[in-house]
Amino acid sequence: MTRIILTRHGETEWNIERRVQGRLDSPLTKKGLTQARSLALRLRNESIQYLYSSDSPRALATAEEIRREIQLGRVISEPRIREFSFGDWEGKLWDELRQNYRDIFRIWDSTPQLVQVPSGDNMYCFSEKVWEYFRELITKHRGETICLVSHGLTLKLLVTKALGFTVDEWLKTPMQFNTAVNILEVKGTKINPVILGDCSHLETTGL
């Protein structure tokens, strides 16, 4: 059996400011670092053999907390699990974008998969690329336990595909809050969800 743990980075400065991150980056907040440490403690007994991270600094900083706690030799930096590209929107405030792109956001708020973000990604195409890499990892790490540290929308789309839903059904799967944990078990061609979008490790710390 193959076990895959999917998780999101800790809180960042731009998360607090409600600013679009995408392929751009902002550092973990003090709270975000504490979240990452709590996540690391939660995962220390999961027998993780390989630890992958998006090459975004916020994800790598979160992964480093996990690596240190579980005493792995290194984090494997992987650009193919970066966040969805929000193109021209990146670095801008969500509230300002809603005012400046009202027509687009009428669609985005109900069916974002139909939107081509200006100079950015489309959810259908992005989902397929991330899913292709995910399938590669399943084959490469058959019978092992691996952990991937990635981003909110990337993880949401991965979990959607793993549960057998289409991109159009992405709202059926859990939101991926900071350091949310998803555990999937793969037996043959079947993917079984064990835990989805869980943040219970933050409850005892008041985060």
Residues with catalytic roles: 9, 83
| Whole-number Å distance between alpha carbons of 61 and 10 | 9
Dihedral over alpha carbons 32, 38, 41, 47 (to 10 degrees): -60
Task: Identify the three-state secondary structure at position 192.
Answer: strand
| Whole-number Å distance between alpha carbons of 140 and 155 | 20
Question: Please, what's the largest Cα pairwise distance for the chain?
Answer: 49
Q: What angle do CA 99, 118, 111 make, to 5 degrees?
A: 70
Residue 109 DSSP class: T
Neighbour tally for 7: CB within 10 Å: 28
Spatial contact of 198 and 180, defined as CB atoms under 8 Å apart: yes
Count of residues making up the chain: 207
Please state the separation of Cα 35 from the chain's center in Å. 15
